[in-house]
Structure 1
Amino acid sequence: MPLKTYVSEKPKIAYSCYFTRNREGEQFVPEHVFSYQVSGVFTMTAGEKQMVFNEGDFRFIRRNQLVKFVKQPPTNGEFKSVSVYLDQQTLRNFSIEYGYKAAGHYEGDAVIMLKSNGLYKSFMQSLLPYQQDDVVMNDKLQDLKLREAILLLLQMQPELKDILFDFSEPGKIDLEGFMEKNFHFNVQLKRFAYLTGRSLATFKRDFEKVFKLTPSRWLQQRRLQEAHYLIKEKGKAPSDVYLELGFEDLSHFSFAFKNKYGIAPSKL
């Protein structure tokens, strides 16, 4: 069942519901997300850290993150979650109105397991009838719910202030370290450039200085190298590896692999 969203423009409150099978994917998270796991299991990997969220858990995902995820429905059941997207404009308006400012730049985890409590649960349960009854939440009501979510997060976990009200853009970071951690994400080069604090032109120029290859060429070579390791040393199947490493389809992966190593991945 596809994702249901009840919004007029950008998705600010979203309901996710899947049946019978696991769903895997990856995405760039452009805004902070406050989520509640209604049922099923949600596994998320950001950088080198993996987190598992079970029924009843709450999570907070920081903006500007690359993540991989697996949505697993319970036996004979359905995967359900509800998420509130805290966009920058809403947070800026809130900051001006209430005088909140970040005291410093947060350097911790990209995904935070929130302490479960009755107030979080009551808030999230107040959103569920809009999905169950197919009632469209209008813009004013959405804005009220977003403000309520922000106030609730600040009351229960005041330390989130330094995340919510940090409006700075990504600064220039170590290119080699970032790419080694994130080469397996299938995103456009402009996204890599943004996350490393560079314009696209500067990213390409710096990249060739560091790696002595174009970004596209290096990404393919690095992904194929990792694929060879996972198949030969870890015994993984090519059908499990190609998506994990950012290839769009199995045939393209197999062709590129055979072209580099002289043997099809299935024969390795």
Structure 2
Amino acid sequence: CRPCSLIAAAVEDEGGAADRSHVVWLLVVDDGEEVLRQYLRAFSALGAMRADFWDEYAVSAEPFCSGGSAALYKASSYGCGSTQPAELAAKVKVLECSADFSKVESEAAFLRMVQGHPNIIRLHGQFLCPAGEPEEGAESQVGEQGAGGARKYVSPLPMAQPCHVLITDLCPKGDLDDCVTAKGPYSEAKGLQLIVGLLSALAHVHSVGLVHRDVKSQNVLLGAEGRPLLADFGSAARLSDSEAMKGIAGTLGYAA
């Protein structure tokens, strides 16, 4: 194990509200910047909130999917020693109020709880980006693995409002809804394989005390060889949370 020191301190949000206190970590690494980046990526994948998104990633100039106040961009890491895929997905959510932050914080926490299952989208990290970063006009050239040249990534912002960014695997095949719309219904054998994978993912979600509450074709992404990946835990809740379980969740046409 490389030399690494961790110091934790409890910090209260503005106003001193005890129920809004959180832990801030000071990470001290002796072996250089790239080793520090590796530790930071590992902690972020475990749920630590980072504030250095623009130091770690460049993103596509335009989102490949958007809806409401969230948008999905392609992202590529600057780190030369990164073990992450060449391209990832960055889900950027504008934070208009404290309730928005609580919601995205819960989504990331729930996704972290269900990691390790082959039919659940993989979490690589999360970031909180202050308003006004990066500087206007900032751009970078980031090499793309397997491509004949470099693909240009630029920052689509500066942001007028703070944003939360969730980094996950990128699924170029899109979601199940797109696939069925473009290619028609699955065969019985292929559909059975998909359903088995999806039910296995849901069983895993339930085994850790959560319910997804918004299972639909748009939230089933297609990974390598069409493997179904359950995604978007923004409507999820703990089974033990009686108040949340009383609420109405889901999408019309899919919710029972």
Normalising by the smaller structure, the TM-score range is under 0.3
Q: TM-score, normalised by structure 1?
A: 0.25
Q: Which has the higher strand share?
A: 2
Q: TM-score, normalised by structure 2?
A: 0.25
Larger Rg: 1
